[in-house]
Structure 1
């Protein structure tokens, strides 16, 4: 190719798809091709010489000096030592201000006494960097620059394969910041983000370089602790405590001092599982148990925990079916008036019977119902059956017969069924008086200051429903709350009644509660009465009603009716 024929040579380099620039011995830029203009945006008039090119393409003085130095070394190696010019990876600033990565090479063309430096730019390197950036964005958390859930899970799968071959163990520590939502709500998201970034730094500083820290979700981190002794969990406990101490040290953010706590769940390979997905699930189960026990807790996965969780899942599924089938039963336990030993009330108790197991304890299924929002439908079904029972008992026994129905705090909150409106209508349709139904709540409901809870309780009271405070004495036991909430009945918890005959202090406490309740125009129901001696003593202390196995266990409705008849016959014979 005759480089003296400028037009012909220009056409030749314009046909080349990569950017090309030519300079002479006097460092003048003598030619650029079309690709150069398209990729970098510069015209010949923009860069008449190499000084102008360097100024514009590498505007940062320190970086420009580095480029010139590296270029000079490569030129000396190539020309002075007759070596091939080794390409340089450079970041070139385009005329638009955008920066592009390119691999730059140089060769010399000589014809006669004319020598030109031909510089070619391979901008495909920018595509490589672009794909690298995409990969990083897909695999690393944008805020903390930690491996995200997807990438950490991939590394976990690889670690299982590596550890299996090497016959070594590792641990997964799942760490959740307690009540992180309140940080964002009270201090703003920018403060929360800064706290997360600092948390990630503290976690990385607390583990070895060989360990891996990842971010699983907004407030949840995970640490893969490599090469451990699976038979020495105390070493992991020490590490977990070290992590907790790092997290619980004060944070100084935006002129504020913040303190947080964290909960951790730990699973171990291969003791707990050799499956990466199951190991993560086990660590999550342990974390859930840690958070249930309170803030700043550490819990290791155990088979007992797994069995308990499997049991809960099984009961959850079975409960959904039971609610669809309306197969929950309602039993009644008699409440006897102390003055004449006559049953004038009963407490309704939900009972669940599984064909293969028999009755499931309410202590087991009620928390599941509350945690999964089943409590609303369960409460509605219990209410419906209670109204049917009341419809019969107010006709066959006493028009004023009352049935107490338990209502948890969850049934008063926003989003639950509007029972404060539905129940009065249902009672009216059955021509029942609202006073026939007593709503039992615990002390914890009284402590709920949510406006919706108070509004619903007030609505019930205005409609004529009576309230009973259940399990009194086991919670905050503050009569100040009772003064603010005019209940009709106070139910003394069974733990006081069980010792009332043998413990003088318990007797004094019961007597004081009865007297105080009467002063506040409340009647008293003693729960858990099991002996005639307890009944007589409570009667002598002025207790109004008693309930317990001394009279009867909870009964199915037909059994309750039989019990009422036998009790009436026995009283008549007496």
Structure 2
């Protein structure tokens, strides 16, 4: 089905339509706003006229009421109804007056201006009467129909009655309506003129848009269409197709001529580009893209014909330390020599259909194919090749006049036994290679379904580890550290323990690695540091010892890479009140070597606070003692692998003795871990080791059990 395509011309028309729609919408909103404004103006104007007329009527009423009250004083005093009636009728004849009422002090009507006075003696009971009777002077009030003005009639200080005059508002309302009608007519005429102007603007905008579209169609769209046709020819690899010729001296002409030059350039360099796109620049092998395309093609050819295929994923063990210690140039030389050895082995044992590629970094992939119908020839061929690669790649490589010993971990997956798609085969190969590394490196492993289960278990463990601290499953245990010269307890190492609700105690060697790789250690580590400082402060306050006990806390490589570590340590010390000299921070040697400059900066900041820094697992790293001159540390912990055989292996004893002597010459404290026999303790003491820890001296225990050692 042909995909719907919106051309440039249609886009321009749509853009013009959108602009016209926006303009129309704005005009409609403006028109609505103008209509609302006109209504508001009419309302305000009418209200102003109403208020003005009410005020004028009130002033007239006050004047008329005052004059009438003065004229009625004597007639009311003498109760001359004829005189009162004459005055009331004269006032009632004035235009706009609805009623005239003369009343006594109790509010009873004395005269209403009529001949027979039907309301005589009756109390005034209309809604305005209450205010009239209570008023002590001129009083004006009004309703929607009348303005009522009253005035008391007084003789000296004595009130003898009052008079009310009602002015009708009917005439005033008619005047207001006539004025409002005139204002509305004026505003409607103004609105009509604005409407005509808006329509003219919209028609002008439409005409302008049509003109712009026509010009763009002639000057831009047609040339661009011709260039698009030429570009499709180039895309199809037909570089000799005709490119439109233009003599225009503008940007479109420049674009047409650039297309012509591009066609010639692409044709000239097409072969080089394809070679570069499918070849690894460093080793000259096929790259990931070329290998994936070849693998897809092989699978299409093999599917259904009964032949087998094997993928070998080879990854160099510990390659990162070459870059970290010898530099990236040395790392590139290692990759070149490794690729040469792998290529030779593949040519010798892989057969004619074998293919070798470098996926990037230190990862190589090999494709092997069977040459006969079903059997395990591919499995046997892959095993022979993997064994040969493990042997060949474990031989030392000479870089910068220095021998480098590396190895390779190889994962093998088979088609169609393990998977039928390229994606799943590559995934399975990665999983098998990872299992080879877990098995100890420098070996090979075939993919199996159980490996998927191992990966699933690791993912499940990561999920269960999230929130384990909050659920109370994680705790801190303390292993005592003794001074060898007088066998005195001087400190403890804080160790993280996980009591799983279903699996029981989980080995730290298992879950610490998961926490490190998943990043959970960044949230768990600060909690461990805070608890260790708080417990050490409690020991300091509750138990009297000749010298304060220290607590050592392990810091992971991930935490070391964060610049926030010194601030976190300082905050924990301030929060718990533990003196900085009683906190020791332990880091592995390999973590420090990974980024020596960054680590040196962070460790210097920690030491400036007063915290001591120990290097854990010393002797297992790639660099040895030379880094002690450049990394500021206060102590080193000899790895337990050396201590385990110190009684029966002269080499381990000599190496341990050399580490102690070298460290002491640099003013560095030496700690031995993994002391499990009395003989180990004795020989370490004899060799001058400063501190020791291990099961012979004490097992890791809870904070409460450790406190009992201090009693």
TM above 0.5: yes
Gaps of 5+ in 1: 1-37, 42-89, 99-139, 188-200, 248-260, 569-574
Name the CA distance, whole Å, in 2 between partners of 1:205 and 1:533: 55
Name the CA distance, whole Å, in 1 between partners of 2:655 and 2:314: 45
Which structure shows the higher strand fraction? Answer: 1
Query: Among residues 519, 535, 543, which one is paired with 1:389 in the alignment?
Result: 535
Gaps of 5+ in 2: 1-224, 229-237, 247-274, 280-285, 331-342, 394-406
Task: Indicate if the aligned counterparts of 1:230 and 1:268 stay in contact, CA closer than 8 A.
Answer: no
Aligned to 1:404: 552
Max Rg structure: 2
Name the CA distance, whole Å, in 2 between partners of 1:300 and 1:373: 30
Once the two structures are TM-superposed, the CA of residue 356 in structure 1 deviates from its matched residue by: 2.2
Task: Indicate if the aligned counterparts of 1:203 and 1:213 stay in contact, CA closer than 8 A.
Answer: no
Q: Are 1:345 and 2:491 an aligned pair? A: yes
Partner secondary structure for residue 461 of structure 1: helix
Bigger mean CA offset, 206-215 vs 533-542: 206-215
Aligned length: 417
Query: Among residues 611, 636, 650, which one is paired with 1:490 in the alignment?
Result: 636
Compare relative contact order (CA 8 Å, sep 6+) and give the higher one, 1 or 2: 1
When residues 242 and 388 of structure 1 are mapped into structure 2, their CA distance, relative to the original with a 3 A threshold, is closer
When residues 39 and 316 of structure 1 are mapped into structure 2, their CA distance, relative to the original with a 3 A threshold, is closer
Aligned to 2:575: 429
The Cα offsets for residues 305-346 of structure 1, whole Å up to 9 and x where unpaired, read as 444433322322222343564632211001123344332200
Name the CA distance, whole Å, in 2 between partners of 1:93 and 1:461: 72
RMSD: 5.3
Query: Among residues 684, 688, 696, which one is paired with 1:538 in the alignment?
Result: 684
When residues 351 and 213 of structure 1 are mapped into structure 2, their CA distance, relative to the original with a 3 A threshold, is same
Once the two structures are TM-superposed, the CA of residue 348 in structure 1 deviates from its matched residue by: 0.8
Once the two structures are TM-superposed, the CA of residue 454 in structure 1 deviates from its matched residue by: 1.5
Name the CA distance, whole Å, in 2 between partners of 1:494 and 1:401: 23
Once the two structures are TM-superposed, the CA of residue 406 in structure 1 deviates from its matched residue by: 1.4
Aligned to 1:169: 308
Name the CA distance, whole Å, in 2 between partners of 1:269 and 1:435: 61
Task: Indicate if the aligned counterparts of 1:170 and 1:230 stay in contact, CA closer than 8 A.
Answer: no
Bigger mean CA offset, 220-229 vs 395-404: 220-229
Bigger mean CA offset, 395-404 vs 286-295: 286-295
Aligned to 1:69: none
Query: 1:453-468 residue pairs with structure 2 within 5 A?
Result: 453-468=599-614
When residues 359 and 204 of structure 1 are mapped into structure 2, their CA distance, relative to the original with a 3 A threshold, is closer
Partner secondary structure for residue 539 of structure 1: helix
Once the two structures are TM-superposed, the CA of residue 453 in structure 1 deviates from its matched residue by: 1.7
Query: Among residues 446, 458, 476, which one is paired with 1:300 in the alignment?
Result: 446
Once the two structures are TM-superposed, the CA of residue 461 in structure 1 deviates from its matched residue by: 0.9
Name the CA distance, whole Å, in 1 between partners of 2:696 and 2:563: 36
Once the two structures are TM-superposed, the CA of residue 418 in structure 1 deviates from its matched residue by: 0.6
Once the two structures are TM-superposed, the CA of residue 373 in structure 1 deviates from its matched residue by: 2.7
The Cα offsets for residues 92-141 of structure 1, whole Å up to 9 and x where unpaired, read as 8446179xxxxxxxxxxxxxxxxxxxxxxxxxxxxxxxxxxxxxxxxx99
Q: Are 1:370 and 2:516 an aligned pair? A: yes
Task: Indicate if the aligned counterparts of 2:563 and 2:602 stay in contact, CA closer than 8 A.
Answer: no
Name the CA distance, whole Å, in 2 between partners of 1:219 and 1:483: 31
Aligned to 1:470: 616
Q: Are 1:438 and 2:577 an aligned pair? A: no
When residues 295 and 553 of structure 1 are mapped into structure 2, their CA distance, relative to the original with a 3 A threshold, is closer
Bigger mean CA offset, 380-389 vs 219-228: 219-228
Query: 1:59-458 residue pairs with structure 2 within 5 A?
Result: 93-94=241-242, 96=244, 143=278, 162=304, 166-173=305-312, 225-227=368-370, 229-230=375-376, 233-237=379-383, 265-273=411-419, 278-289=424-435, 299-303=445-449, 305-322=451-468, 325=471, 327-397=473-543, 400-413=548-561, 416=562, 418-458=564-604
The Cα offsets for residues 272-321 of structure 1, whole Å up to 9 and x where unpaired, read as 34676543421221244567899998653245544443332232222234
Once the two structures are TM-superposed, the CA of residue 422 in structure 1 deviates from its matched residue by: 1.8
TM-score (norm 2): 0.47
Which structure shows the higher helix fraction? Answer: 2
Name the CA distance, whole Å, in 1 between partners of 2:682 and 2:568: 41
When residues 217 and 158 of structure 1 are mapped into structure 2, their CA distance, relative to the original with a 3 A threshold, is farther
Once the two structures are TM-superposed, the CA of residue 391 in structure 1 deviates from its matched residue by: 2.4
Bigger mean CA offset, 462-471 vs 501-510: 501-510
